[in-house]
Amino acid sequence: MNIVQRPRRLRGNETIRGMVRETRISKSALIYPAFVAEGLTEPREIEAMPGQYRHTTESLLHMGERLLEAGINKMMLFGIPLEKDPLGSQAYCTHGVVQEAMRALKDRLPELYLIGDVCMCEYTSHGHCGILNGREVDNDETLSYLARIALSQVQAGADMVAPSDMMDGRVAAIRTLLDQNQYTQIPIMSYAVKYASSFYGPFREAADSAPAFGDRRSYQMDVHNVREGVKEALLDLEEGADLIMVKPAMAFGDVIAKVREAVCVPVASYSVSGEYTMVKCAARAGAMDEEKLICEIAASAFRAGSDVYLTYFAQELARFLDEGRLG
């Protein structure tokens, strides 16, 4: 049989498959999201996210050490305070839970690159991502609070800030305040394309951040929309964003690809809590191979165009990269 083109020639063994692989993944692209909580004497496993924990500052330090040993040197921090109020004041408190954790991490593990999630939902008594005017989030009133949160995190040691609130104009407000305080070199990774997604369910248990009423669809994006996501990304670039994030990742590969085509800055994607829990549940039910699934989901995000990948499976992916099973 005269078959000239035989694509299988390049699939014959692991060596050649690795040589011609189109999507490359490295540990330097991975960020581990971590939760730190006030009032704990020991880490507490998150029921909806088996294997993930609300950390004490001390256990977070141990987590940081394990990440560095695995070759992961970037961590994003989410805080759970003991006290909440309508203004989310613990989010920008000098001695807030995230700020104190950042100081401790920078003191003991200075090589760990710290990213502060800038939002208010974990800190407000109503669970929304901004200041309320009646039962609506007041976009413009919220901006100065978000900027204060970002500044407080940078003053505590954050190397980067990542606003996740989805208020219009928040990147400009944060950039302006950071620059006014001589933090011109601190980058902003904007959650520019953040959907109102059901995949966030386990996170809301982890961070105690479920809204007390209503939902977040008036500020997070409609899952049906793609062009709007490109628009959000371009607007945030105009305001001074240095990286653009798409969230969630797994079900939004088409959006990652569109954003990647539209912007000339690094694109991050966040494999969120619901993706993590789905993998764990499928594996526990014996329905799928957990390790292969983790690799395949990560590869799909990078294949779509992600330069940076936030994942609760960062340590596992580091091991798979070391073993040559990925990348």
CATH code for position 72: 3.20.20.70
Tell me, yes or no, whether 237 lies in a domain.
yes
Q: Between β-strands 113-118 and 44-45, what pairing exists: parallel, antiparallel or unpaired?
A: unpaired
Q: Is the pTM of this model over 0.85?
A: yes
Tell me, yes or no, whether 221 lies in a domain.
yes
Residue of 74, 194, 258, 280 marked catalytic: 194
Tell me, yes or no, whether 124 lies in a domain.
yes
pLDDT at residue 287 in the model:
97
pLDDT at residue 213 in the model:
80
Residues contacting 158, CB < 8 A, separation 6+: 102, 114, 115, 116, 186
Tell me, yes or no, whether 204 lies in a domain.
yes
Tell me, yes or no, whether 3 lies in a domain.
no
pLDDT at residue 259 in the model:
98
Q: Which residues of the chain have pLDDT under 50?
A: none
Alpha-carbon gap, residue 189 to 84, rounded angstroms? 26
pLDDT at residue 327 in the model:
81
106 is catalytic: no
Inter-residue contact 98 to 79 (CB < 8 Å): yes
Tell me, yes or no, whether 67 lies in a domain.
yes
84 is catalytic: no
Alpha-carbon gap, residue 175 to 293, rounded angstroms? 38
Q: Between β-strands 30-37 and 113-118, what pairing exists: parallel, antiparallel or unpaired?
A: unpaired
Tell me, yes or no, whether 76 lies in a domain.
yes
Residue-range definition of the domain harbouring residue 206: 24-322
Residue of 247, 258, 280, 292 marked catalytic: 247
pLDDT at residue 208 in the model:
76
Tell me, yes or no, whether 2 lies in a domain.
no
Counting the structural domains of the chain, the total is: 1
